[in-house]
Amino acid sequence: MSPQTALAFDDTKNAFASKSNFELLRSWLIFKVCAIGPVVRHCDTLYNISLKILGGKLTHGIMRHALFNHFCAGETSKDIVPKMNRLKGFGVGGILDYAAEAKEEAAVTGAAATPDMSVYSGEAVCDANAEIFLEAIRAVRDATPDGFAAVKLSGLGDPKLLERMSSCLVQMTCLFQRMSDGSAQTEALQKPYYCVDRTFEFDVETFSQGWKKFFAVRDDEHLREIFDDMAAGRGGKISFEEWSEGIRLSNINEIARSCLNKGPMYQAALNEEELQLYNNLIGRVQKIMDLAQEMGVRVMVDAEWTDIQPAIDHLVVFLQRKYNSGDRPIVFQTYQTYLKGMHNSVLRDLRRSQREGYHFGGKVVRGAYMVSEREKARVRGLESPICETYEATEANYHSCIDSILEHNPGSTSSEGANAEAEIVVASHCKDSIEHTVRRMGELGRQPDRVYFGQLLGMADHLTFTLAGSGYKAYKYVPYGPIDEVVPYLIRRTQENSAILGSPAVQEERGMVQQELRRRLALL
């Protein structure tokens, strides 16, 4: 089917064709209840009270016919097949998220981790979480072959290790800026990380003077060896952007250990035991990606909170180099556009994929941790990394989408450097979807490398209208044992409370009500 540029999102008959009358009524009731602020804020307390009074079996029996069946596809990879086949019948694919927690007290799975969660329950739990993600890969192959799996790296190792390595990256960027131009670079420490300009470079003289100020060195000959290694093939100058993108986090750890000043970068360096744990994390990630590549399953690496995101970004670069060099990308980076400077990050990643010849794959979202990120910045006395207004986030979101769509538009090449970039536009905002479709038409982009994603149980008028018009539409589909998934759903409901009470959801509730009335009139 050829895509249409004019999309009738207000056609309730087509938008809700996949829903039975019961499912429509349930949707209306859920949207109605989720608009009640006190209920959403205290739903975890209400759930625990129900467990104590009614017991788990009855509580979960009620929840199965309410939240669970509305927002989830089933409990196991076999259970989800009917719902995935039903979605497929309407041209909708799946983004699978195994949403259950590993069965160990205080365990935190990557899928269920909350913004500032840094609970670490040992390597056995991380191994169990890796098996969960491997199961999600297999489920995509079996239940929705053209779909995606979602992975959160914080569930595969101690998040504190990612936080320390992120600190190394941030401090290294600031120190190297000072090395290139010591006059005005102290402000970099106050800037949000994604706003820091990394295009600077320096020659051997500037490098030597700066390196001696910050790092231990045996002698000038050793210093020259360091410079030559860093500047290899770059014409006698070091481009920080290119060099920093190629160095492994373990090597950055060695640089941190050589700091003369026992400041934040030195303190962030891992000891030998911690470095081994970090390597264990890398091993789990590669095992997951190896299976994904073998099965032809695409993997979205979810974005997380800013204290650990720099390390995740750095890891994803290495994963994309390795796994995105075939015919299509396997690893998709996630860009949270409520962060200031995120458009620059997208542009850097596009340039790198072009320069190094691998496929670009990215998911663009607005973001999930706005309140906590602003509060952390306030407590630390730093500029907030979050865009000041909704309009600024919207402009950032659309700029990121536009730049990705403009990467080799109209190309039919399967070579990474010359192929069109692939993008997942994850949005419940009709204006953003219409913007994307309009830009696709202007650029001559075909729909086979542009994907649209919405949560299962929400924004059906967007998903099914897109699919029915020839675009690649997906539902983000959680699944897992009900007694473990319900707490996850409660957290997601609370995290998305602003969305659930938004005018857009109220409009969707009105559309559901309109469709119910239309169907009743036909009886």
Residue 263 resides in a domain: yes
Place of tokens 């595969």: 156
Give Cα separations from 136 to 75, 302, 494 (angstroms): 12, 14, 24
Residue 236 resides in a domain: yes
What sign for the dihedral angle of Cα 145, 146, 147, 151? positive
**Contact by Cβ (8 Å): 81, 143:** yes
pLDDT for res 495: 63
Q: Any idea what the CATH number is for the domain that residue 240 is in?
A: 1.10.238
Structure tokens at 451: 């994907």
Domain count, the chain: 1
Distance between CA 335 and CA 129 in Å, rounded? 23
Residue 189 resides in a domain: yes
Half-sphere exposure of 307 (CA within 13 A, CB side): 19
**φ, ψ dihedrals at 139, nearest 5°:** -65, -35
Structure tokens at 349: 């990643």
Distance between CA 385 and CA 128 in Å, rounded? 33
**Contact by Cβ (8 Å): 456, 464:** no
Residue 326 resides in a domain: no
Question: Which stretches of the chain drop beneath a pLDDT of 70?
Answer: 1-5, 100-119, 182-189, 233-234, 495-502
Give Cα separations from 378 to 307, 384, 389, 411 (angstroms): 14, 7, 17, 46
**Contact by Cβ (8 Å): 13, 515:** yes
Residue 248 resides in a domain: yes
* Count of other CB atoms within 10 angstroms of residue 310: 22
**Contact by Cβ (8 Å): 334, 395:** no
Task: Write b or e for each residue in 119-151: b if 16 or more Cβ atoms lie within 10 A of its Cβ, otherwise e.
Answer: ebbeeebbebbbebbbbbbbbbbebbeebbbbb
Distance between CA 488 and CA 484 in Å, rounded? 7
Q: What is the span of the domain harbouring residue 185?
A: 163-268
Residue 173 resides in a domain: yes
**φ, ψ dihedrals at 237, nearest 5°:** -130, 150
Q: Environment class of residue 156 by beta-carbon count within 10 Å: exposed (0-12), middle (13-18) or buried (19+)?
A: buried
Residue 96 resides in a domain: no
Residue 215 is classified by DSSP as B
Pairing of strands 331-336, 298-301: parallel
Structure tokens at 38: 């006190």
- 3 state SS for 6-20: CCCCCCHHHHCCCCC
* Count of other CB atoms within 10 angstroms of residue 85: 11
C-alpha torsion angle, residues 253, 255, 261, 266 (rounded to 10) = 0
Q: Which residues 6+ apart lie within 8 Å of 175 measured at CB?
A: 214, 265
pTM: 0.90
Residue 233 resides in a domain: yes
pLDDT for res 207: 85
* Count of other CB atoms within 10 angstroms of residue 243: 17
Distance between CA 230 and CA 224 in Å, rounded? 10
**Maximum pairwise Cα distance, the chain:** 89
pLDDT for res 371: 79
Residue 5 is classified by DSSP as S
pLDDT for res 236: 78
429-476 tens-digit pLDDT: 999 999 999 999 999 998 999 999 999 998 999 999 999 999 999 999
pLDDT for res 110: 38
Q: Which residues 6+ apart lie within 8 Å of 129 measured at CB?
A: 102, 107, 109, 110, 155, 156
Place of tokens 């050829």: 2
167-183 tens-digit pLDDT: 999 988 888 888 877 64
pLDDT for res 314: 94
40-96 tens-digit pLDDT: 888 889 999 999 999 999 999 988 988 899 999 999 888 899 999 999 999 999 999
**Contact by Cβ (8 Å): 311, 167:** no
Distance between CA 177 and CA 220 in Å, rounded? 21
Counting residues of the chain whose pLDDT is more than 90, the rounded percentage is 55
